[in-house]
Amino acid sequence: MKDKIVRNGSPEGKKPAKAKKVSTQMERKRLVEELDGLASQLCRLQWHMRCGMCGGEGSQTHHFFTKRAHGSTRWNDDGLIWLDFGCHIYKVHGKGDTETIRDAIINRIGQERFDALKREAQTIRKYTMDDLRAIKARLIKDRQDLICRQAEELF
């Protein structure tokens, strides 16, 4: 009985391309989840852990421009607002009250930045792994800078 030739470390000369693709997809998914968490942490700090609608203790990040439909602004902190559960689920998603949060965001970032965010939300962007890594670095830096500024304000 003849042994089959092994190329590229796989039996019968097949390339392990599928395994690499799955590995890359899993890495991408983990990185996207990490970016969501970092963006949420930054949002919480920017809003001083207070709901942007009622001023109560917030608990959730809301994307003014939805993550799915407007992926280009998914990790842009200008489009995020910290909300409590009732305001987020009942008022925003249940009743569709987005004017209040739009006004709160504009109050925080200004009309000019909001208009730029709105234009960005209308663009289609496919992020590479390098893009996602750069976004991660920016979010970490922005979070650290904000923590330092808020600590300076206390003293």
The pLDDT mean for the chain works out to: 89
- The tens digit of pLDDT for each residue in 3-36 reads 555 555 555 555 555 666 668 899 999 999 999 9
User: Distances from the Cα of 134 to the Cαs of 13, 15, 24, 92, 127, in angstroms?
Assistant: 37, 31, 17, 31, 10
Structure confidence at residue 155 (pLDDT)? 77
- The tens digit of pLDDT for each residue in 86-102 reads 999 999 999 999 999 99
- The tens digit of pLDDT for each residue in 41-82 reads 999 999 999 999 999 999 999 999 988 888 899 999 999 999
What secondary structure does DSSP assign to 83-100, as a single string?
E-HIIIIIIIIIT---HH
**In the chain, domain spans:** 18-154
Structure confidence at residue 70 (pLDDT)? 86
**DSSP label at residue 63:** E
Is this prediction's pTM over 0.85?
no
